[in-house]
Every structure is written in C-alpha cells, then in structure tokens.
C-alpha cells in the first residue's frame, strides 16, 4: 500500500466496512512518523468512504471533509464575530 488516496477496496473489505463501519487496511508509516500506524477505511454518513488512522489518546477517527467543513464553519463564525465587533465600534 503506497498511495493511501487511491486505495481500491476489495469486495471483502467493502463487506466488512458495510458490516462494522470500518475496515483495517494495513499499517503505514508517513514521513516524520516514529512508527507505522494502522489505517482503516471508515464510512462518513455525509461524505462516504474515507481513510484514516487513529488520532489522540482515545484513538478517534475524523472524516477529513467534515473537519474541513468544521474549520470553514468556525472561520465564518469568527468572521461574523469580527463584523459584530466592528459594527459595535461604529455605533
């Protein structure tokens, strides 16, 4: 497994993914990592299949697209908060 962005799931992996919501793909080490981590194909209810490895102490997985949306959302909140402050100063 060299390119994680172009992983072809076998019918068996698709079946396990459908059954359990995640399927183990294999261990992979990215540049800068001290060791290899297990990679899984997961299913996001919104964006479909994505590939991730466990994060943090509680080994959580995040859909990269959901994370992007969250970042965009918090940015828009920050932007509107700034607008409010600016507006408050004007009046």
Residue nearer to Zn ion on the CB measure, 74 or 80: 74
Strands 37-44, 48-52: parallel, antiparallel or unpaired by DSSP?
antiparallel
| Segment near Zn ion (CB under 5 A); pick from 10-18, 21-29, 39-47, 72-80 | 39-47
User: CB–CB of 49/41 below 8 Å?
Assistant: yes
41-60 binders of Zn ion (CB under 5 A): 44, 46-47
Q: Residue 18 or residue 33: which is nearer to Zn ion going by CB? A: 18
Smallest distance from Zn ion to CB 63, Å:
3
Query: Shortest distance, CB of residue 64 to Zn ion, whole angstroms?
Result: 8
Q: State how far the Cα of 54 lies from the Cα of 39, in Å rounded to an integer.
A: 8
Per the CB < 8 A criterion, the answer to whether 43 and 31 are in contact is no
Helix, coil or strand: residue 52: strand
| Site residues (vs Zn ion, CB under 5 A) | 44, 46-47, 63, 65-66
């Amino acid at each position: 497994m060299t390119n994680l962005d172009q992983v072809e799931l076998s019918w068996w992996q698709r079946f396990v993914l459908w059954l359990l919501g995640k399927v183990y793909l294999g261990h992979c080490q990215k540049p800068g990592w001290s060791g290899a981590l297990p990679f899984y194909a997961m299913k996001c209810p919104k964006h479909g299949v994505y590939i991730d490895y466990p994060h943090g102490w509680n080994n959580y997985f995040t859909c990269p697209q959901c994370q992007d949306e969250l970042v965009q959302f918090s940015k828009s909140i920050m932007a509107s908060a700034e607008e409010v402050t600016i507006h408050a100063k004007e009046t």
